[in-house]
Structure 1
């Protein structure tokens, strides 16, 4: 039996499973309800059934790629972890200020959507690097320790750290993370999540990543049976169309924010190239959102 390739698309309502023989072109498809916390069990059962129809077994499946809208839906519905943000002194409100882009600059009644971390859970820490990574002000580790005690009382579920110019030198962020780990909650640092200049984009991505970790962790726990059940390699689809390991997806769930739609877009691109189409529009209508590319 040739090695089989499998894919699963886990949406808010249904899970679609495809099993294909890349040599013969034979394909089998299954659709099951998404039972949260039991998605691994259901994918496993569907793949066993599909493999049987093709005269194969689970051990013949070479790899499984799982796309999911779990992070997408959590972002859209605001079902994120209670998240704190630590940033450089003077930049506490970078998430609110953003890029100064406003829907209407003169509408006194306009209200913007709330940011991922409320102001009482955002803290500025004395520390400062310049654009070359030179230390202008050492990290105030005692200030970090005071914030740790505050966060313990606030029962936060995740923490993001985004210091100015940390993409040049991550030492201050890593030192802060060491102190924050005593809280026993996920801690994301911007130098690992999105190590680029422009503090708003970096801080927003890091805060959203931290807030999504508990959501993705629960999802991956539900996939444990698939990952441990004999299928050679299991991956999570990333937003860019590539694949992440379970460990990578668990640490950087923001990279899976468009995991669900990404597979269809990549597949459509290949189909368009094969037929000579230069301009293609895709539409993926799910139970929670509609995605266009």
Structure 2
């Protein structure tokens, strides 16, 4: 039984079309759902209005809420739309083009006009300074601090609002990056700084540099957003804890989110993965496929033995939506999921060869689908489902929003007229196209993991998920589909099931046959444990409640790809290995 001070918790998820809210009453084990349209020009505006409406409907005040857990697409949108801060980069002499050269791998060997995403920082804003460490972290060329100061002055004068400091081999020894940061902060104390040794202290310069630049790119944006959100919540009486959802399925406090906003990249979908595991567990299903279809995209995630698999990296800002390698690699932990198709707001049109195509462009929340009556005229998946009778035009958003079926029919008829179809036929074509495409993409994802979809159940959620889940499951051979209560806000509910957690990483290239390896590994693990615990205690976690899980990326000599394996508890030096 929860006491009065901790009785109420709220989870809310800002999506591209809707913002979802869940109010949990721990004393009665009940929830209250609320949804409102996202305000793209200022996401905090819609979120604050929705919070006010939610607590008012429950007869409460924000002062009675003990915790608010939040997920947002703010970071994703900023990277996809290139709406981050003016960015500069300071790097080791000779290495400023690493983020442009990439890995020199072709993601499509048959495309003669292959393109790659532009770096987040233009070449003129990537400046080099004398410094060099070797692969073991030993100084080869001392850092020229005066060159660092001059570079920072030049970048700030050129309009940079944030700087990424990316030195070679900083993952082994951060001393040069820390010294450079101290020199810059002494002269520009309010400038946002991201150090590669703090953001992602791992091997591979390209991924490390890109991730650090992406983190710096969104830092000022996230700082302003959180500052306003905290200020407004405080002024409205909220005195509880504010947490933010990470892509890997754990929660952090505002300070950690300000320092590492790149870890919030997939915060909403991560909540959906946790919700899937939760609902599957309630009915005794530990192997579940999540099917999350919102306003813009549909995503799938596999839950095995009741747990979400966490991947070490992801891609953003892809030039080709479904082509791996066409985006920016972000080396940050994320619940392993895949985008499998369009969302409710995805726009339908006829392509150059006369075929019906859905997405990737979305009507979003403003103006939204034609049936929203907010100025949209293009046919979308939502218009199709309204035309087919999947939605009740008089009971959308719980009855707070009426849908315009005539506007939807007109938009669908406009598309169908190009290929001789009626509005109803066009609606059915959109529905079938979306369903088949999502099932095909999900099947590829499942097969690539070596799994058999017929052995899994499916949980359908998101604003548009339940309307497609059964047909997608039928195509995949899935025999059981769960549509949970409050399915339209399942990600927000998943936030409330998430633990406070943080992941720290470090690279240590070492051969296990080296007699010194266990002692060096133990030292690195101890340092990472201290670093991780510090982030959690800063978020309000008691030291006695912290548990540590350890993993290592390992490979055979001569291989290039690692396999992540769990490490035993205790002192590594006391363990024995057998071949």
TM-score, normalised on structure 2?
Answer: 0.47
Tell me the distance in 2 between the aligned counterparts of 1:286 and 1:101.
Answer: 33
The answer to whether the aligner puts 1:205 opposite 2:211 as a matched pair is yes
The answer to whether the aligner puts 1:76 opposite 2:80 as a matched pair is yes
SS in 1 for 2:173: coil
Alpha carbons of 1:285 and 1:120: their partners in 2 closer, same or farther (altered >3 Å)?
farther
Alpha carbons of 1:30 and 1:247: their partners in 2 closer, same or farther (altered >3 Å)?
same
For the aligned residue pairs, the C-alpha RMSD in angstroms reads 2.2
SS in 1 for 2:150: helix
The answer to whether the aligner puts 1:280 opposite 2:284 as a matched pair is no
Paired positions, count: 290
Mean Cα deviation higher: 217-226 or 74-83: 217-226
SS in 2 for 1:115: coil
Tell me the distance in 2 between the aligned counterparts of 1:266 and 1:180.
Answer: 40
Q: Which one of 15, 40, 49 corresponds to residue 42 of structure 1?
A: 49
Alpha carbons of 1:174 and 1:200: their partners in 2 closer, same or farther (altered >3 Å)?
same
Tell me the distance in 2 between the aligned counterparts of 1:281 and 1:201.
Answer: 29
The answer to whether the aligner puts 1:266 opposite 2:274 as a matched pair is yes
Structure 2: where are the runs of 5+ without partners?
A: 302-579
The answer to whether the aligner puts 1:188 opposite 2:190 as a matched pair is no
The correspondence of residues 57-206 of structure 1 with structure 2, limited to 5 A, is 57-105=61-109, 107-181=111-185, 182-183=187-188, 184-206=190-212
SS in 2 for 1:111: coil
1:104-124 superposed Cα distances (whole Å, 9 cap, x missing partner): 457542221211112111122
> Are the aligned partners of 1:30 and 1:50 in contact in 2 as well (CA < 8 Å)?
no
SS in 1 for 2:58: helix
Runs of 4+ more than 6 Å apart: none
The correspondence of residues 203-242 of structure 1 with structure 2, limited to 5 A, is 203-224=209-230, 225-226=232-233, 229-242=237-250
1:54-88 superposed Cα distances (whole Å, 9 cap, x missing partner): xx543432211011111111112222222111122
TM-score, normalised on structure 1?
Answer: 0.90
> Are the aligned partners of 1:188 and 1:207 in contact in 2 as well (CA < 8 Å)?
yes
Alpha carbons of 1:43 and 1:227: their partners in 2 closer, same or farther (altered >3 Å)?
farther
1:161-217 superposed Cα distances (whole Å, 9 cap, x missing partner): 111221222121112112333344211101111112222221111100000112212
The answer to whether the aligner puts 1:51 opposite 2:58 as a matched pair is yes
1:30-52 superposed Cα distances (whole Å, 9 cap, x missing partner): 11233314245324413421431
For residue 25 of structure 1, what is the aligned residue in structure 2?
29
1:116-159 superposed Cα distances (whole Å, 9 cap, x missing partner): 11211112221111222211110011221221232133111211
Tell me the distance in 1 between the aligned counterparts of 2:102 and 2:144.
Answer: 26
